[in-house]
Chains A and B, each alone.
Chain A
Amino acid sequence: MRDLPGGPALLALARDVLTTELLPLLPEERQPDALLVAKCMAIAEREAELGETPEHELRILYGAGTDTDELLRRFARELRIGAFENSPDHDVCARAILWQLTLAKLRQSSPEFLAANGFDQPGGAIGRAKPCLSPVSRKRSTPLPKVKSSL
C-alpha cells in the first residue's frame, strides 16, 4: 500500500504549483517549456489514474490468455487485410473497438481535443463495443444486432 497523497494527486499538486507560482517567475522565452512540462505532468497524471487502454472488447474478440499488445497487434493485422469487411456485423464490431480505443487514449493524452470535437462527457457518450468474434479465428461470439454501416 502506497502513502498518501498518491502519485496522480502529487502530480496534480506539483503541476498547479508550476503553472500558478513558478511560471510567472520564468523569463518569457522559457515559459513555453514550462507549459510543456505541465502538459507532460497532466498526461502522466491521467495515465496513472485511468490505466491502460481498454482491452475488454479485444479479449471478447480473441479470447483470454494473451497480452494486450499481442491482441492489438493481431487486431491491426486483421484490419490491414480487411478481415472484418465480409460481414457487416464484424465491420460494426471492429469500428466500435476502434472508437473505444481512440477515445480512451485521447481521454489521457488530449481531453481538450475530445471536448473540441464534441466528445466532452467523460463516462457518458462512449458506448461499449458489441461482443463479436474474430473473422480469422472463427471463435464463437455473442450474436450482434444488425447495424447499418455508414460507408
Chain B
Amino acid sequence: MAGTASPQSKPRHAALARFLAGASAASAVEITALNRLRGGALQENWGLDARFSGGTLDGDQRLVLRSSAATGIAASLTRHQEFAVQKAAFAAGVTVPEPLFASDEPALFGRPFFIMRRAPGIALPDRITSDLALDPALPMIAERLGGELARIHAIRPPRSDLAFLAPCADTGPIRQIAGFRAYLDRHPRPRPVLEWGIRWLETHIPPTDAPVLCHHDFRTGNYLVDGAAVTAILDWEFAGWGDPHEDIGWFCCKSWRFARLDREAGGIADRAPFYRGYERESGGVIDRRRVRFWEVLASVRWAMIALEQTDRHMIGGERDLDLSLTGRRANECELEILMLLDRKGSHSDA
C-alpha cells in the first residue's frame, strides 16, 4: 500500500521520480540517492539526488525534500504554506534555497512535502559558535545575517500569496502572554519566575510597529554557513506577520548563543555588526528597548518550548532521554529572565 511504504521503497522512489519529471517537464528522472538529513525535530529533511533528462532541471541535481514529521505542532505552517513563504522570501532576495515543487499527494511520500535546491554548508550551532577557524569571519557573517533579516522584514502585508498567515493580532504579545499563562495553568509544577517574567511582559508591552514577515525562528542553527559565506536561511515553519523586533530579540536571546554566551548576536558576534547589517539594509533604526522586551519574551517562549518537549515524554509517553532532559533548560531561561530584569539582583546578599 502506497500510504504505508517506506520513503526508501522502490514504489515510493518511482512515484517520486514520476512526480519530479512531471513538475519539471523532464522526459525522465532517476533518483540516485534519498537519505534523511540531520536535524529537524518537527519536520524531516531528505537529501535527494536525481538525474533529470531534459526539462527545467536538466542534468544532475542535489535537492532537499522537506516533509512533515509524523507528529507536528499546531503553531507550525503546513508544507504548502511553508513553500509559499519560502517562495516569497526567495523572490525578495533572501538567501534561501530555491523552492521548486510542492505536493500534498499522500501516495508520493506518505506525507505532504516540498522540494527545494540543496545549499552547501553547516548549520551545527555548537560548531559555528566554537570553531576557531570560523572566528575571523563571524562578525561579517553576523552583519550579513542582519541584512538577510531586514530583507525578510521588507515583505509586508497585504499579500495574496501569503493570505493564510494569521493577522498580527493573533500572534502579538497579548495573545502570546495569554497562551503562556494557559500553558502554565495546565502544567503540573508552578513556575514562579516565569509568572513574574510574564507579568513584566504584560505591563511593558511596547507599541507595535507596522507588521512585517517574521521568520519567528531566526537563530544560529537555522542558517547554513559555508566558509565565510551565509548560504541559506532555513526552517520557515513558524513564519508569520509580526513586529520586526521580535526576530531580533529571538536571534540575540541567550538560549541561542550556544558555546559563546558572551557573543550576544547569536553566539557569533557582538550586536553591533548584526544591528549594522540590519539597519543598513532596512534603512531604519532598531529600537533597543523594544528588542529588550522581545528578548525577555524569547526567554519565556523558549522556557515554554523546553517544558513542552518534556511533556512529550512525561505526558505523551515518548521514551526519549533528550526530551526528558529538555524541560530542565527552562531553569536556564529563568536565570536569564532574572538577569535581564533584575540586573542588580537580590542574589548578591546586599
Do A and B originate from a single complex? Answer: yes
Complex contact A106–B332 (CB within 8 A): yes
Q: Is the CB of B342 within 8 A of A33?
A: no
Tell me, in angstroms, the Cα distance from A102 to B341 when the chains sit together.
14
* Band of interface residues on A: 35 or more
Rounded to whole Å, the gap between the CB of A26 and the closest CB of chain B is 15
Report the Cα distance A39→B348, complex, angstroms: 29
A2 to B237 alpha-carbon distance, docked (Å)? 52
B15 at the interface (CB under 8 A from A): no
Determine the chain B residues whose CB is within 8 A of the CB of A98 once the complex forms. Answer: 192-193, 196, 334, 338, 342, 346
With contacts A80-B198, A98-B193, A99-B342 taken as known, whether A36 is within 8 angstroms of B321 at the C-beta atoms is yes
Within the complex, what minimum Cβ distance (angstroms) separates B194 from chain A?
8
In whole angstroms, what is the CA distance A150 to B348 when docked?
A: 13
B288 within 8 A of A: no
Contact of B331 among A69, A92, A106 (CB under 8 A): A106
Is A114 part of the binding interface, using a Cβ–Cβ cutoff of 8 Å? yes
CA separation between A114 and B332, bound complex, in Å?
8
A69's partner among B190, B325, B329, B342 (CB-CB below 8 A) is B190
Chain A interface, >50% SS class: helix
Is the CB of B287 closer than 8 A to any CB of chain A? no
Q: Are A36 and B325 in contact (CB under 8 A)?
A: yes
User: CA–CA, A126 to B195, complex, Å?
Assistant: 22
Stretch of A6-14, A17-25, A70-78, A135-143 lying at the B interface: A70-78
In the complex, the chain B residue whose C-beta lies closest to that of A113 is B332
Encoded as 1 (CB less than 8 Å from any A CB) or 0, chain B from 9 to 51 comes to 0000000000000000000000000000000000000000000
Residues of A within 8 A of B198 (CB): 80
Give 22 pairs: A residue, B residue, CB < 8 Å, sorted on A.
A33-B321, A36-B322, A43-B328, A72-B189, A80-B181, A80-B195, A94-B196, A95-B342, A98-B342, A99-B345, A101-B193, A105-B331, A110-B332, A117-B261, A117-B335, A119-B347, A125-B348, A127-B349, A128-B349, A147-B346, A151-B200, A151-B342
Which residues does B use to contact A, with CB under 8 Å?
181, 184, 189-193, 195-196, 198-200, 203, 261, 321-322, 324-325, 328-329, 331-332, 334-335, 338-339, 341-350
Question: Contact residues of A with B, CB < 8 Å?
Answer: 33, 36-37, 39-40, 43, 69, 72-73, 75-77, 79-82, 92, 94-103, 105-106, 109-110, 113-114, 116-117, 119, 125-129, 147, 150-151
Additional A-B contact list (11), CB under 8 Å, known A99-B345, A99-B346, A101-B193: A33-B321, A37-B321, A40-B321, A102-B193, A117-B335, A125-B349, A126-B347, A127-B347, A128-B349, A147-B346, A151-B341
